[in-house]
Structure 1
Amino acid sequence: MVPADGNDEPSELLYGLHAVREALRAGVRPIQRLLVLRQDRQFGDVVQRAKEKRIPVQLGPAAAFDRLVPGGKHQGVIAFVAAKAYVALDEILESARARNEPPFLLLLDGVEDPHNLGAVLRTAEAAGVHGICIPERRAVGLTSVVAKVSAGAIDHMPVSRASNLTRCIEDLKKAGIWVYGVEPSAEKIYTETDLTGPLAIVVGGEGEGIRPGVRKECDELLRIPMMGKVESLNVSAAVSVVLFEAVRQRNRKRMAVPTEP
């Protein structure tokens, strides 16, 4: 269990032992994570049910509960409800197969700003990306702010949530998907790379970029050439640049007329 990071909004909170217990039992509302005051017997069944459903459980101080739910009616348990349910990675890959298209995925390593995630969702949907994968921890989830900024794209873009992004990349590589990380220090420029096959693009968060362990698992690293004084683009801008280069290449390949031998 880890401390609460405080990224979620009060309007998306479900609190109180009975309310949270019933929401977990019904399984209708997409719960992002659970914040509990203690790990004793009082919270045992709620914590156990959350873990069975692979919902992250976090331990937080009393001050965090009082800040999120003024008035003390939280009873030491708060559920953070997402704006949309997540899907399994296999469902995203199956969707690509059903459309008879090479998989086209986006992986976000630690994007914490909901405005950035919303903008990325909108761009990815416009680019025809089959799905997005985000980490369970240290990253913003599908909140109402994300939904609003996405301008409706959240309803059309499947999003998977991985407990371990490195393992997610390993699974994609086993499925025959080439994984490219977008990294300012990379030697190869993104336009010099064939982006027409089964593809997953990895982009890092606002501060640290792609973490070393995730970067190491990428098949290759690409960079966007920067002509000014800043070293990198905002994450949503970087995603736009690389995804639509892939769109350009894929459209050109699809529209190419075979020549006679």
Structure 2
Amino acid sequence: MFQSKKNIIAGRNPVTEALKAGQTIDKVLMFKNASGEAINEIRQLAKDNNVPVQYVPNEKLNSLTNVQHQGVVAFKSAIRYQDLQQVIDWVNEKGEVPLFLILDGVTDVRNIGAIARTALCCGAQAIIIPDKGVGALNEDAVKTSAGALELIQICRVNSLMKAVDELHLNGIKVFASEMTAKKRLFDLELKEPAAIVMGGEEKGVFPALMRICDEQFHIPMSNGFESLNVSVATGMILYEVMKQRITG
């Protein structure tokens, strides 16, 4: 995926300073054989700030920038990530019923942008994403979302399993979309606090994550054709939630 040059931070000192300053960083790319005190500090700062580090060949870094990168390149995020528990508290303090989305393995930034746009329109307050295995929330994603990614809360976590545990501790029921599930979307009770897990188009929801969800459901289709785009499916699900809550 193309990255705008202005979103790239290259070099050990610039990346270190960006992490220390609390800039929102999508990820750090590091030469797999890079070493030294500065590299160790970047690794630790990235860990402290929940920023994923990906180890790549030097040729990959060279293709991203013409400046001396010294084995380290970081991508600035187009949005600011929020703490999940703080978002839950914020929603409750406003007197709203929580409605969150969990994206597991959704990598296409156009889908993520479209999902954010629909989520905001249907009253969802937050989208929960893992720190790895999800499309970068870059300028393309923000553009596709028509700015929704800058308005809805985005929570980046290092484990979706732990995020589900945190939701459960806060009384939020977690539902997983799975086309082989017996229960239909329309049979769910969605007026209470809820989080919806949407899996990537290729692999779906990770099995271990699926097992700890409260319920699984499918979207009924008239002719058995099972190929809904993930952003379209998400829109159908969120509209059902909104319908239940409005007419409830």
Q: Could you tell me which residue of structure 2 aligns to residue 3 of structure 1?
A: none
Counterpart CA distance in 1 for 2:114 and 2:223 is: 23
Residues 33-66 of structure 1 show CA distances to partners (whole Å, capped at 9, x for unaligned) of: 1111134115222222222222112211112112
1:215 aligned to 202, 210, 226, which one? 210
Q: Could you tell me which residue of structure 1 aligns to residue 28 of structure 2?
A: 34
Counterpart CA distance in 1 for 2:121 and 2:128 is: 17
How many residue pairs end up in the alignment?
Answer: 245
Given that 2:113 and 2:143 are in contact with CA atoms closer than 8 Å, whether structure 1 keeps it comes out as yes
Matched, 1:19 2:14: yes
Cα RMSD (Å): 1.5
Q: Could you tell me which residue of structure 2 aligns to residue 233 of structure 1?
A: 228
Residues 82-141 of structure 1 show CA distances to partners (whole Å, capped at 9, x for unaligned) of: 101100111221122122122111111111000000000000000110111011111113
Normalised to the residue count of structure 2, the TM-score between the two structures is 0.94
1:191 aligned to 182, 186, 191, which one? 186
Q: Could you tell me which residue of structure 1 aligns to residue 87 of structure 2?
A: 92
- SS at the partner of 1:188? coil
Return structure 1 stretches of 4+ with deviation > 4 angstroms. none
Q: Could you tell me which residue of structure 1 aligns to residue 172 of structure 2?
A: 177
Q: Could you tell me which residue of structure 1 aligns to residue 44 of structure 2?
A: 48
- Bigger mean CA deviation after superposition, 221-230 or 154-163: 221-230
Counterpart CA distance in 2 for 1:174 and 1:18 is: 40
Rg larger in 1 or in 2?
A: 1
Residues 58-78 of structure 1 show CA distances to partners (whole Å, capped at 9, x for unaligned) of: 211112112222x36222100
Given that 1:96 and 1:130 are in contact with CA atoms closer than 8 Å, whether structure 2 keeps it comes out as yes
Amino acid of the structure 2 residue aligned with 1:65: L
Amino acid of the structure 1 residue aligned with 2:76: V
- SS at the partner of 2:28? strand
2:117 aligned to 119, 122, 126, which one? 122
- SS at the partner of 2:239? helix
Amino acid of the structure 1 residue aligned with 2:15: V
- SS at the partner of 2:217? strand
Given that 2:101 and 2:197 are in contact with CA atoms closer than 8 Å, whether structure 1 keeps it comes out as yes
Counterpart CA distance in 2 for 1:218 and 1:231 is: 22
Given that 1:15 and 1:79 are in contact with CA atoms closer than 8 Å, whether structure 2 keeps it comes out as yes
2:97 aligned to 102, 105, 126, which one? 102
Q: Could you tell me which residue of structure 1 aligns to residue 61 of structure 2?
A: 65
Normalised to the residue count of structure 1, the TM-score between the two structures is 0.89
Counterpart CA distance in 1 for 2:130 and 2:55 is: 19
Counterpart CA distance in 1 for 2:146 and 2:228 is: 22
Counterpart CA distance in 2 for 1:211 and 1:54 is: 21
Counterpart CA distance in 2 for 1:8 and 1:219 is: 38
- Cα distance, 1:63–1:126 mapped onto 2, change above 3 Å: same
Q: Percent identity?
A: 35
1:140 aligned to 107, 112, 135, which one? 135
